[in-house]
Every structure is written in C-alpha cells, then in structure tokens.
Amino acid sequence: MTVESHGTTTLTVGEGATKRTIALVRRAPRDAVGRPGLVWLGGYRSDMDGTKAVELDRYCGAEGLACTRFDYSGHGRSGGDFRDGTISRWLEESLAVMGQEAPGPQILVGSSMGAWIALRLVQEFQRRGEADRIAGLILLAPAPDFTIELMEPELTEAQKSDLESKGYFEEPTPYGPEPNVFTRALFEDGRRNRVLNGVIDAGCPIHIIQGMADPDVPHTHALRLVEHLPADDVVLTLVRDGDHRLSRPQDIERMLQAIRDLIHQG
C-alpha cells in the first residue's frame, strides 16, 4: 500500500513484526519515452535529502527523466529501527520500491553501501528473469561486502567483545553527531549477500567513480570490484583528491556526466 503526503509517498514493506513504512519521493518523467528512469540508493546512515541525491533529482527534472529517491528503514524519513537493518532487509525494501514505484528500465545510482544494494538488485532481477529492468549502474565510492572485506579485518578486540556480548558496537563518525552502530546481525547477514566471491555478470554498462583520498573505502576496493566485472562495459574514474562523500561540484558533475554517457549508450 502506498500513501502520498506533502510530496512524499510512503510504502509499506513486510508484515507483522517486520512491517515498516518506507518514505520515497518520485519525480514523474516528462517526454522521456525510450529513456530509463533513475533510482537513488544511498549509503549507510545517509538519506535521500543528501547533496548527491538532491542534485540527481534536480538533473532529472531538467532533463524530463523519472527519478526515484527513498530512505531505507531506520534512515531519514522512513520508519523502523536502524539497529534492525541488514543488507537483506534494505534489499527487500529496494525491490519493493522498484516494483511499485519505479517501473521499466532503470539506471541505479548507488553510493557506498548503496552500490552493494545495486549489485544485489541486479542479481535478484536476473533471478526473476527481469534482467532488462537494470539499464545501467553508476557506483560512487562503492562498498560491496564492506562488512566482510573492509571492517572485519580491522575490528579491535573491544569491538569483537561488544559484538559477542551486546550484539553491536559503536564508533564515532565524521559524518554526523551520533556514532555509527554496527550490529552482529549486519555482519552475519553481510556474509549471505556477498558479491565479491565470483564473477558479477551485470549485463549492463557500469561507471564507477572512486576517490583516491577516501578514508573509508580505499580505491583498491574499486579496483577489486572491476576484477569481478569482466564481462561488462565498465568505466572506472579515479579522482585523485576525491573523498568518500564525492559531493563537491566537480564530483557531482562527474556523476551527471556518467549518467549522460549511459543514456547516450541507449
């Protein structure tokens, strides 16, 4: 069921104890026949009102393209407890949004963890026989498998102890006043959603933009992702002074140019 209020549509996902309300904003296309829409997939603890998401929506408005932004449960305007969040849970919500609010071929724009969700969406649509739903991928500072590949090797003994005894640990973040929370469920579920354990046959053009000054996701992680995409049309742009946010005007323009290139490719 969807309900619209003040320009925000709410979509109910799950049943019973797992029921949660997902907030989304959808821009309808204008004279965009034959062109895909765009879906924004945010990062861990980010929301659809961030700079990149808003600029993507603004671009789509100017170009007459459909654009769908939403917040995962526990994020932004959506309901649900953040600590209940896992890749599987947020993937389920992304599938629901695309199934009900973003019909037809879509270019997925995934930032950080959103790139992991994007790659899992590709796999899920392929499993359903709907591979043509994904027209292209724009992956910004992509962090697929970040719990396994980037975090687990760096866990301190105190963090491991907290995961075992409390089921979560906290750490400060430069991106907001509240600490990041990482749960045991997130780590366990991450293993069930791994994508860097074999060839990823996305079946669509992909543009990756990665900052080389990113303190959270090293550029070598993007290089490794490319190695798992041997069958696809992949462009990797390394930004020497780019950070994890990639929200400077020049970074936004790189994102928009990548979108133009994918649309031009048809």
Mean pLDDT of the chain, nearest integer: 94
pLDDT in tens, 176-202: 778 899 999 999 999 999 999 999 999
Q: CA-to-CA distance for 39 and 98, rounded, in angstroms?
A: 8
Q: What is the pLDDT of residue 6?
A: 41
Reported as a pLDDT band with limits 50, 70 and 90, residue 4 is very low
Residue 243 sits at φ, ψ, to 5 deg, of -100, -165
Q: CA-to-CA distance for 147 and 155, rounded, in angstroms?
A: 10
In this prediction, residues 159-164 reach a mean pLDDT of 97
Tokens coding 119: 């790659």
pLDDT in tens, 96-147: 999 999 999 999 999 999 999 999 999 999 999 999 999 999 999 999 999 9
Count how many domains the chain has: 1
Closest CA to 11 of 57, 65, 80, 64: 80
Q: CA-to-CA distance for 210 and 219, rounded, in angstroms?
A: 6
Q: What is the pLDDT of residue 32?
A: 61
Q: What is the pLDDT of residue 156?
A: 97
Tokens coding 197: 């354990």
Contact 36, 105 (CB under 8 A): yes
Indicate if the pLDDT at residue 2 is higher than 60.
no
pLDDT in tens, 251-260: 999 999 999 9
Q: Tokens 């459909």, residue?
A: 66
Contact 44, 73 (CB under 8 A): no
Q: What is the pLDDT of residue 266?
A: 67
**Which tops the pLDDT comparison, 76 or 33?**
76
Range of the domain at 243: 2-265
Indicate if the pLDDT at residue 5 is higher than 60.
no
In this prediction, residues 152-177 reach a mean pLDDT of 93
In this prediction, residues 219-231 reach a mean pLDDT of 96
Q: CA-to-CA distance for 95 and 123, rounded, in angstroms?
A: 11
Type of residue at 226: V
Reported as a pLDDT band with limits 50, 70 and 90, residue 209 is very high
Reported as a pLDDT band with limits 50, 70 and 90, residue 175 is confident
- pLDDT above 90 as % of the chain: 90
Q: CA-to-CA distance for 42 and 40, rounded, in angstroms?
A: 6
Q: CA-to-CA distance for 213 and 167, rounded, in angstroms?
A: 32
**Which tops the pLDDT comparison, 186 or 266?**
186
Look up the CATH number of the domain holding residue 207.
3.40.50.1820
Q: What is the pLDDT of residue 107?
A: 98
Contact 167, 184 (CB under 8 A): yes
Q: CA-to-CA distance for 220 and 223, rounded, in angstroms?
A: 5
Q: What is the pLDDT of residue 41?
A: 98
Residues 6 or more apart in contact with residue 168 via CB below 8 angstroms: 83, 162, 181, 182, 183, 184
Q: What is the pLDDT of residue 194?
A: 98
